[in-house]
Amino acid sequence: MSAEAAPRDPLLDTDFIKEMARQMRALDTYGSHDGWSVEQILAPFVLTPEKKAAIPLVGDPDETTLARVKCFYNAISVLIEKECKLMAVPLVHLTHEGFGRALITVGKLVALDKTLRDVHRFGFASLSKMKDEADKLLSVALERIGRYPDVAGL
């Protein structure tokens, strides 16, 4: 009886998921996640409805959650750079209560401006939903850069 390996999810081979894994591994300064699969590394981003219900409606985000938010927007910035060959700089500014903004600038252009709320509950229903959200944000940013290339090039 031969055991066949389960087919690899093609989602794991997308640029965004690869970059998210790279960003999360960069946070692991002690190497405690060495040998972990991409699914294990990105598992904290997946909040099933049950997990989300267990998190109080009001709360302050911890440092680990803030780092995950920054990883998400850093990954989008890297994909912007890859696509348009211009430096994209992410800025995540949050109050201690988990409200604020995520900005990504390219040159003098604000390519992405996202209001953040309830960051202590930051997560997605699945990795696929996370990628869909990132694709939407990336699309908006690239469209703005295309519309204002002179400003983005400054």
Count other C-beta atoms under 10 Å from residue 97's C-beta. Answer: 14
Predicted pLDDT of residue 15: 95
CATH number, domain 11-152:
1.10.3100.20
List, for residues 79-107, the tens digit of each pLDDT value.
999 999 999 999 999 998 889 999 999 99
Predicted pLDDT of residue 7: 73
Predicted pLDDT of residue 136: 98
The pLDDT confidence band at residue 109, using thresholds 50, 70 and 90, is very high
Predicted pLDDT of residue 124: 96
Task: Give the burial class of 21: count Cβ atoms within 10 A of its Cβ; 0-12 exposed, 13-18 middle, 19 or more buried.
Answer: buried
Does residue 3 register a pLDDT over 80? no
Does residue 6 register a pLDDT over 70? no
- The β-bridge relationship of strands 88-94 and 109-116 is unpaired
The pLDDT confidence band at residue 8, using thresholds 50, 70 and 90, is confident
> What would the two tokens of residue 114 be?
């996202």
* Distance of alpha carbon 129 from alpha carbon 142, whole angstroms: 20
The mean of the pLDDT values for the chain is 92
Determine the average pLDDT of the residues in 33-42: 92
Determine the average pLDDT of the residues in 125-148: 97
- With beta carbons less than 8 A apart as the criterion, state whether 56 and 78 touch: no
